[in-house]
Amino acid sequence: MPVLFQVARRSSALALLTALALGSAAAAPVKLRMVEVITSPERTVLLKQILADFQKVNPDVQVELISYPFEQSFEKLLSSVQAGDIPDIAEMPDKWLSLFAGTNRLVDLTPFLKTWPNAKKFSPRMLEAGSSFQNTPYTLPYGFYLRALFYNKAMFAAKGLKPPLTFSEFQKDAKLLSDPSKNQYGYCLRGARGVWDSAYHFISGQLGSAKWFDAQGKSVLTSPEAVKGLEYFANLYKSGSAPKASVNWGFNDIVGGFYSGNCAMLDQDPDALGDISKKMDPGEFGVVPMPIGPKGVAYPKVGFAGWSIFKASTHQDAAWKLTSYLSSPAVNLKWAKFFGIIPAYEDAQKDAQYAQPVYQGWFRTLHSKAHRIELYPFELPELGYFLDVLAPQEVDKLLLGQQTAQQTASILADYLNKAKAKQGGK
């Protein structure tokens, strides 16, 4: 064989091998790291199934799921980010948003949303929630935790009562439905972590506003109306309308107290439906909007969580591809049903599950002019400590008679004023 031909053949073979190698390199899938923080074993199984489905239709993207234990999830994500070990995508609860967005860690999703077909179908209130920090969409919420009032139909019927519409009716009914000798009470009060979500409903209802600060940037908690709201909440406990043990009750305790018939009313999000529906028949309980305050309005607690992309990600387009998949109508509906939340799309209420009468209390709330949806001041990084530690600690002292409503309000307002001052008081 001529030498020239041999050289040419070797060159062609080398070129082919090089091309194949380059092609293989080009086809190598993008690897994303995703963090789950509101973790449970069943939930993680579902999320892994959803991610597997995503990868089937997007073989160019591989996803590594990191599921932190729920109790340590905040500390683990924060320490990981501070150490430079930053995921591409993270589940982002509302009260963490300001911390990560405020330190310039998260991607502004505006450019992606402008070209996303589903953006027009997304609930406007969901998009508003995701933009609660600096009016910028740093997260895409997957649903609302919205507070409504569960009531035991048999216990109400026995007293000839209808579900309360106002604060005064709620207080009266809670008293009438209580009989400590039978271990029955009107209200399942949550005195442990999460107590502020219930207490603030009555504070804001007395104020006729859900604003935490006045025009000068000072906490409104020491105003006469706010103090009256705190006293109202405390009197539900002190009057015997709630079990004595409820000062220490958390989520599982109040839900158990309701489905066991220990108490007739419970204010909770739709995620409580899962446990309640397992213990009670659909006709044994109902759900209605939260009672309205003396100024004709109510501000039921609303919370959310969503998906955020970190700026440090070198694969932001792929991260958005995953985020938009997780937020697509079919996937979001599947996720919301499992998680027990109000889905991100308004059309979801046409689904057979959400069309059930029990869900109408939440949808009526969303469409009610008297029920206003206002978010907590998530721009304050100190809000997490306030909600999880300080407020439960101080409100419990109020419930137990260790300090007055005015003293409680002053302690809480002082902390909030200092936090607000760090933000320039604006």
State residue 425's pLDDT score.
62
State residue 99's pLDDT score.
86
Q: Which amino acid belongs to residue 39?
A: T
Q: Which amino acid belongs to residue 41?
A: P
Q: The pTM is what?
A: 0.79
Q: E strand or H helix at 65, and its extent?
A: strand 61-67
pLDDT of the chain along its 426 residues, tens only? 444 334 444 445 555 444 444 444 456 899 999 999 988 888 999 999 999 999 999 999 999 999 998 878 888 999 999 999 999 999 999 888 988 998 999 999 999 999 999 999 999 889 988 998 889 999 999 998 899 999 999 999 999 999 999 999 999 999 999 999 999 999 999 999 899 999 999 999 999 999 999 999 999 999 999 999 999 999 999 999 999 999 999 999 999 999 999 999 999 999 899 899 999 998 999 999 999 999 999 999 988 999 999 999 999 999 999 999 999 999 999 999 988 889 999 888 889 989 888 898 998 998 899 999 888 887 787 888 899 899 999 999 999 999 999 999 999 999 999 999 988 765
DSSP conformational letter for 402: S
Whether 308 contacts 137, CB under 8 Å? no
Helix axes 195-207, 391-399, angle to 10 degrees: 80
State residue 426's pLDDT score.
57
Domains of the chain: 29-145+304-367 (3.40.190.10), 148-300+380-422 (3.40.190.10)
Two tokens at 260? Answer: 């066991």
Q: What residue has token string 């932190």? A: 68
145 contact partners, CB below 8 Å, separation of at least 6:
269, 270, 271, 301, 302, 303, 304, 341, 342
Contacts by 206-212, CB closer than 8 A, 24 or more apart: 206/167, 206/232, 206/293, 206/294, 206/295, 207/293, 207/295, 208/293, 208/294, 208/295, 208/296, 208/297, 209/299, 210/299, 210/372, 210/374, 211/374, 212/376, 212/377, 212/416
State residue 388's pLDDT score.
86
Q: Which amino acid belongs to residue 279?
A: K
Whether 200 contacts 253, CB under 8 Å? no
